[in-house]
Amino acid sequence: MTADDFGDDNTINMASTVLTYEDLRKQARLLENEIDLKLVAFSKLGAGINTPHHDHNSDTVPLLSGEDTFETMAMEIEQLLKKLTQINERMSEQPVSGAAMLHTLQRHRDILADMSRDFHKTNTQHEARREREELLKSTRTDLYRPEGINRRDQYLKENAHIHNSDRLVNEQISIAMETREHLISQRQTFKKLQTRFNDISNRFPLINSLIQRINLRKRRDSIIVGLVVAICTFLLLLYAFH
C-alpha cells in the first residue's frame, strides 16, 4: 500500500472528517516511507547518477537528457509533501491526549521539515550543476565557432583590464611608500628640534634653573591647595557629625 492509494487531495479532505488519529498516523508513516524512497532516487538523479525510476520503464539517461525524469519526480515528491502536510495538519487538529501524542506530532512535523529541506536542497544543487554544465558546453562550442574569435577578443580585453588594475595598484603602493618616507623625515626633523632645545637649555643654565623653579612653585601651590581642601573637608565632616 502506497500513498497513491489514498487518492488525490479532494479524497483526503472528504475522508478526513471520519479518520481517527491512528488512521492519520498510519497514513503519515506510509507517506514518509514513500517520500524517503523517492528522495533517495531523486538525490542520485540530481547528482548526475543514472538511476531508473520505478514508475518508468525507460532506460537510464544522462543528466542533461533526463530533465523530464527529474521534473516528473520533482512534481511527484512535491505532491506527496503537500499530502503529508495536510495529514499533519489534520493530526494537529485532533484532541491532545498526553505528552506522548505531542511528541509524536512534533516528530512528524520534524520529519516533514527535513524532507522538504532535502527536496529543495537537491533541486538547488541540480539547477546549479545544470547551469554549470550548460555554461561549459556553450564555452566549448564557442571556441570551435568563427564567432569564438570575438570571445577571445573579450578575454584579451579582460586581460588588459587586469594589467591596468595591477598598474594602478602599483601606483598606489608607490604613493604609500612616498608618504611613509615623508613621515619618517618629519619624525627625524622633530627629533632634531627636540635635541636642539635640550642643547639650548644646557647652554643656558639660568633658563633651566628658572624652569625648575617654576615647576617647584607649581608643585608647591598644588600641595597647598590640596592641604586646604583636605582641612576644609575634615572640618565640614566634623561639624556634620557633631
Q: What is the pLDDT of residue 174?
A: 85
The C-alpha atoms of residue 229 and residue 1 are separated, in whole angstroms, by 96
The C-alpha atoms of residue 125 and residue 139 are separated, in whole angstroms, by 21
- Residue entry with cell 647652554: 203
Q: What percent of the chain has pLDDT over 70?
A: 76
Whether the pLDDT of residue 77 is over 70: the answer is yes
Q: Is 83 helix (H, G, I), strand (E, B) or coil?
A: helix
Q: 127-169, pLDDT tens digit by residue? A: 888 888 878 777 666 555 554 446 677 788 888 888 888 888 8
Measured in residues, the chain has a length of 242
Write out the CATH class of domain 3-144. Answer: mainly alpha
| Stretch 9-13: mean pLDDT | 46
Task: Give the orientation angle of helix 99-143 with respect to helix 148-203, to 10 degrees.
Answer: 110
The C-alpha atoms of residue 196 and residue 42 are separated, in whole angstroms, by 84
Q: Name which residue leads in pLDDT, 218 or 143.
A: 218
| Residue 123 pLDDT class (50, 70, 90 cuts) | confident
How would you write 172-197 as a 3-class SS string? HHHHHHHHHHHHHHHHHHHHHHHHHH
Q: What is the pLDDT of residue 30?
A: 93
Q: Are 242 and 236 in contact (CB under 8 A)?
A: no
Grid coordinates representing 107? Answer: 516528530
Q: 162-199, pLDDT tens digit by residue? A: 888 888 888 888 888 888 888 898 889 988 888 887 77
Whether the pLDDT of residue 18 is over 80: the answer is no
- Residue 141 host element (H or E): helix 99-143
Whether the pLDDT of residue 201 is over 60: the answer is yes
Q: Are 45 and 36 in contact (CB under 8 A)?
A: no
The C-alpha atoms of residue 3 and residue 32 are separated, in whole angstroms, by 9
Q: What is the pLDDT of residue 224?
A: 92
Whether the pLDDT of residue 57 is over 60: the answer is no
> Domain coordinates of the chain in residue numbers?
3-144, 147-181, 208-242
What average pLDDT is seen over the chain? 78
- Residue entry with cell 570551435: 144
The pTM for the full model equals 0.44
Nearest to 113, CA basis, from 95, 88, 76: 88
Q: What is the phi-psi region of residue 107: left when phi exceeds 0, alpha when psi lies from -120 to 50, beta otherwise?
A: alpha
Whether the pLDDT of residue 95 is over 90: the answer is no
